[in-house]
Amino acid sequence: MEKSAYVDDFEMENSFQEDEEETEMKTEVKDDPKKVPTTPVKPTPETQSKVKKRSNNSSKTNSKNTDNEESSIKKRKKEKDDKTEVWKWWEEEKDKKKGGTKWTTLIHSGPLFPPAYKPMPKNVNFKYNGSNMELNPEAEEVATFYARLLDHEYTTKNIFNINFFKDWRKAMTSEEKWIIKDMDKCDFSQLRNYFVSETENRKAMTKDEKSKLREEREKEQKEYGIALIDGHEQAIANFRIEPPGLFQGRGEHPKMGCLKRRILPEDVIINCSKDSIPPPPPGHRWKEIRQDNTVAWLCSWTENVLGQNKYILLSPSSKLKGEKDFEKFERARSLGKIIDQIRKKYFDEMKSKEMKIRQRAVAIYFIDKFALRAGNEKDTNETADTVGCCSLRCEHIKLFKEFEGQMNIVEFDFLGKDSIRYFNRVSVDKKVFKNLEKFMRGKNGSDELFDRLTTTTLNQHLKSLMPGLTAKCFRTYNASFTLQQQLEKLTNANDSIHGKISSYNCANRQVAILCNHQKAVSKTHEKSMQNLKKKIKEKKKELKAAKKELEKIKAEKNKDKLEKKMKKLKEALRKLKADKTDKDENKEIALSTSKLNYLDPRISVAWCQKFNVPIEKIFNKTQREKFQWAIEMTQKGDGYVF
């Protein structure tokens, strides 16, 4: 399937293009990708049944539950007040300096450290060469990290085992080292079984035990999960210090299996107001205390495997993050205003005498049209071999003058971020194709395609076209633009709510395909497909029976009743079919990433308002919190246009 941005007429707009140039291959989005047509229905979708269920439940509640109810109402009200409070704060300060206001006071409790290691029970042993072996606590802890991953594919990988064994030996006493020399003779199964049974025990806990645990977590959340910024409560995203374990890199990562050591207060830098320093855990001290209101982090430490910094940051629902999000989408909108000029310019530059400029032009074409990432250079010894646009190598593309009747075909095949494969066969502009042939001439597969280009020079150039413009901005722009365009194209005002949501998901899916957001097919996919098929079959049977009955019936009153029933059945069948199509088409496509990071939420909010779709159907609670700014900003009837 071709993945390309909606750049409908932009090549045509470039009238300077040479005479015989072929028109671009159509994007893969068909006129109506919705496989199951939907028609208007009575307002009886799942919303109503849910409301009913809830009211049923509440009618069951008696006086002893009234307190609970009251407290939950209070809680909900507080939730709403909190949100409004944040929005008011945002409103008050929105005209202040761009880039968000800087804090004057920042108060928080510091990070929450993971619990200390609890040694294994006496009857749970590590075995070496068939015999039980007692390990020193440190080595035993590292062994448990391995045992926890025993069912995972990681432990079948050679590099993982080599890295683990090397780091594990560092935790052993000289005596242990002398004995344990062969990974193949190590038996972690008892440790693994212990963790399996622990999980089972957790699942089997009583209601009371579970609620006690939940209370504890809520208490931690309250104590460590909130920062006070200039007197305003703001949620913290990740207030927990990452627990020790084995590094699980993605793809063929050279460091997988290395020990991620335990982080201590002595490793942690605290960023807070001078007079509100959180006390370190007893017997410890912080690495450093800082007052830096130019950065967004509250705590930071350096992770030992790759030597990178890790941060404790505010939650996406916070004012600071919201403002940044808003700016990101405003920047993408600005790009939309000059995109035609930019496209004309890079097409012009494909004819430049300078190789550097032609390479840059083709790279921007790729980024714009296929939503490729920038592709920074990276250390090949420290990370998996993945690439983006600027770091593409000749081996990552194939050129076909003609392929299955189409001209100027480029086949991309490379591993991108997270070692996710990007495969796309597309027809490109003739100038692009000719340039690519030139860029590849005389090069080996392992040579860089754009050898005169780096992300730095590319972004420098983009900045000269528009302040703040970067390669990433094209992805945001094209994703949001595609959503808006697809929603316009696919939504039918007469559809049922369910039908409209289906259209939304379809538009969302086009974006996810463009951005190459994939996911592994879930283990239960096949089974749930079978279930749906079974249900469809049953519904069809019911419908058939009802039809037969209708033919027999004479009395008008009974006829009406049956016709109503049939209408209901038909709608249910339609919904089931739509669900089945959605499920199957989404099995390998992740919709959430684009929704969370690339789609201007105001488009979705305005669409919901226009078509009377409750926002809850599109954004769940967390998403609504994150996009509160967009919900507040997009006034009903405004008809927001990206």
Q: Is 527 in the site for DNA (CB under 7 A)?
A: yes
Identity of the residue, 363 or 409, whose beta carbon is nearer to DNA in the bound complex: 363
Identity of the residue, 129 or 211, whose beta carbon is nearer to DNA in the bound complex: 211
* CA dist., res. 501 & res. 622, Å (int): 19
Q: Is 483 in the site for DNA (CB under 7 A)?
A: no
Identity of the residue, 305 or 361, whose beta carbon is nearer to DNA in the bound complex: 305
Closest CA to 605 of 511, 502, 487: 487
Q: How far is the CB of 98 from DNA (least distance, A)?
A: 13
Please state, in angstroms and as integers, the Cα–Cα distance from residue 505 to each residue in 70, 501, 520, 591, following that order.
37, 6, 19, 8
Of the listed pieces 18-26, 171-179, 455-463, 502-510, which binds DNA according to CB under 7 A? Answer: 455-463
Closest CA to 635 of 599, 612, 602, 613: 602
Q: Is 383 in the site for DNA (CB under 7 A)?
A: yes
Of the listed pieces 25-33, 59-67, 440-448, 592-600, which binds DNA according to CB under 7 A? Answer: 592-600
Q: Considering 6, 504, 598, 640, which one is annotated as catalytic? A: 598
Identity of the residue, 10 or 247, whose beta carbon is nearer to DNA in the bound complex: 247
Identity of the residue, 110 or 388, whose beta carbon is nearer to DNA in the bound complex: 388
* Range 259-278, binding DNA (CB under 7 A): 260
Residue from 243, 279, 614, 639 that binds DNA (CB under 7 A)?
A: 243
Burial of 111 from C-beta contacts in 10 A (0-12 / 13-18 / 19+): buried
Residues 462, 470 contacting (CB under 8 angstroms): yes
Q: How far is the CB of 209 from DNA (least distance, A)?
A: 11
* Range 17-76, binding DNA (CB under 7 A): 46, 50, 53
Site map (CB under 7 A) of DNA, residues 109-138, x = contact: ------------------------------
Pairing of strands 288-290, 269-271: parallel
Identity of the residue, 33 or 251, whose beta carbon is nearer to DNA in the bound complex: 251
Closest CA to 426 of 448, 397, 447, 446: 397
Beta bridge partners of 415: 421
Which structure tokens are listed for 174?
């000289």
Of the listed pieces 237-245, 433-441, 553-561, 604-612, which binds DNA according to CB under 7 A? Answer: 237-245
Q: How far is the CB of 74 from DNA (least distance, A)?
A: 18
Burial of 511 from C-beta contacts in 10 A (0-12 / 13-18 / 19+): buried
Identity of the residue, 271 or 484, whose beta carbon is nearer to DNA in the bound complex: 271
- Which alpha helices (H) appear in 61-188, and where do they start and end? 63-93, 137-148, 158-170, 174-179
* CA dist., res. 272 & res. 278, Å (int): 8
Residues 509, 593 contacting (CB under 8 angstroms): no
Residues 515, 599 contacting (CB under 8 angstroms): no
Q: How far is the CB of 468 from DNA (least distance, A)?
A: 7
Residues 421, 415 contacting (CB under 8 angstroms): yes
Q: Which residue has the tokens 């009974």?
A: 558
3-state secondary structure of 89: helix
Identity of the residue, 274 or 636, whose beta carbon is nearer to DNA in the bound complex: 274
* Range 486-515, binding DNA (CB under 7 A): 515
Residues 515, 580 contacting (CB under 8 angstroms): no
Q: Is 594 in the site for DNA (CB under 7 A)?
A: yes
Q: Is 470 in the site for DNA (CB under 7 A)?
A: yes
E runs forming strands in 337-444: 397-403, 406-415, 421-427
Size of residue set near DNA by CB under 7 A = 83
Q: Is 524 in the site for DNA (CB under 7 A)?
A: yes
Q: Is 463 in the site for DNA (CB under 7 A)?
A: yes
Residue from 192, 262, 319, 321 that binds DNA (CB under 7 A)?
A: 321
Of the listed pieces 66-74, 288-296, 333-341, 556-564, which binds DNA according to CB under 7 A? Answer: 288-296
Of the listed pieces 84-92, 116-124, 155-163, 619-627, which binds DNA according to CB under 7 A? Answer: 619-627
Indicate the angle between helix axes 319-349 and 63-93, nearest 10 degrees.
50
Q: How many residues are recorded in the chain? A: 642
Residues 623, 604 contacting (CB under 8 angstroms): no
Q: How far is the CB of 539 from DNA (least distance, A)?
A: 12
Residue from 68, 341, 620, 635 that binds DNA (CB under 7 A)?
A: 620
E runs forming strands in 94-235: 106-107, 126-128, 131-133, 186-187, 226-229, 232-235
Residue from 505, 516, 604, 634 that binds DNA (CB under 7 A)?
A: 516
Residue from 17, 238, 485, 581 that binds DNA (CB under 7 A)?
A: 238
Q: Is 473 in the site for DNA (CB under 7 A)?
A: yes
* Range 415-444, binding DNA (CB under 7 A): 416-420
Residue from 172, 186, 374, 394 that binds DNA (CB under 7 A)?
A: 374
Residues 127, 190 contacting (CB under 8 angstroms): yes
Of the listed pieces 37-45, 69-77, 526-534, 553-561, which binds DNA according to CB under 7 A? Answer: 526-534
Q: How far is the CB of 583 from DNA (least distance, A)?
A: 7
Closest CA to 252 of 415, 388, 143: 415
* CA dist., res. 310 & res. 302, Å (int): 6
Identity of the residue, 125 or 315, whose beta carbon is nearer to DNA in the bound complex: 315
Residue from 17, 273, 492, 518 that binds DNA (CB under 7 A)?
A: 518
* CA dist., res. 131 & res. 217, Å (int): 40
* CA dist., res. 466 & res. 469, Å (int): 5
Identity of the residue, 393 or 431, whose beta carbon is nearer to DNA in the bound complex: 393
Identity of the residue, 180 or 312, whose beta carbon is nearer to DNA in the bound complex: 312
* CA dist., res. 382 & res. 219, Å (int): 39
Q: How far is the CB of 450 from DNA (least distance, A)?
A: 13
Of the listed pieces 123-131, 356-364, 468-476, 556-564, which binds DNA according to CB under 7 A? Answer: 468-476
Residue from 110, 111, 280, 375 that binds DNA (CB under 7 A)?
A: 375
Q: How far is the CB of 191 from DNA (least distance, A)?
A: 15
Q: Is 258 in the site for DNA (CB under 7 A)?
A: no
Q: Is 253 in the site for DNA (CB under 7 A)?
A: yes
Which structure tokens are listed for 362?
């083709």
Decide if 6 is catalytic.
Answer: no
Identity of the residue, 420 or 465, whose beta carbon is nearer to DNA in the bound complex: 420
Q: Is 614 in the site for DNA (CB under 7 A)?
A: no
* Range 152-211, binding DNA (CB under 7 A): 152, 199, 202, 210
Residue 379: partners with Cβ closer than 8 Å, 6 or more residues away: none
Residues 164, 120 contacting (CB under 8 angstroms): no
DSSP state letter for 425: E
E runs forming strands in 265-375: 269-271, 288-290, 299-302, 309-312
3-state secondary structure of 469: coil
**Catalytic residue set:** 598
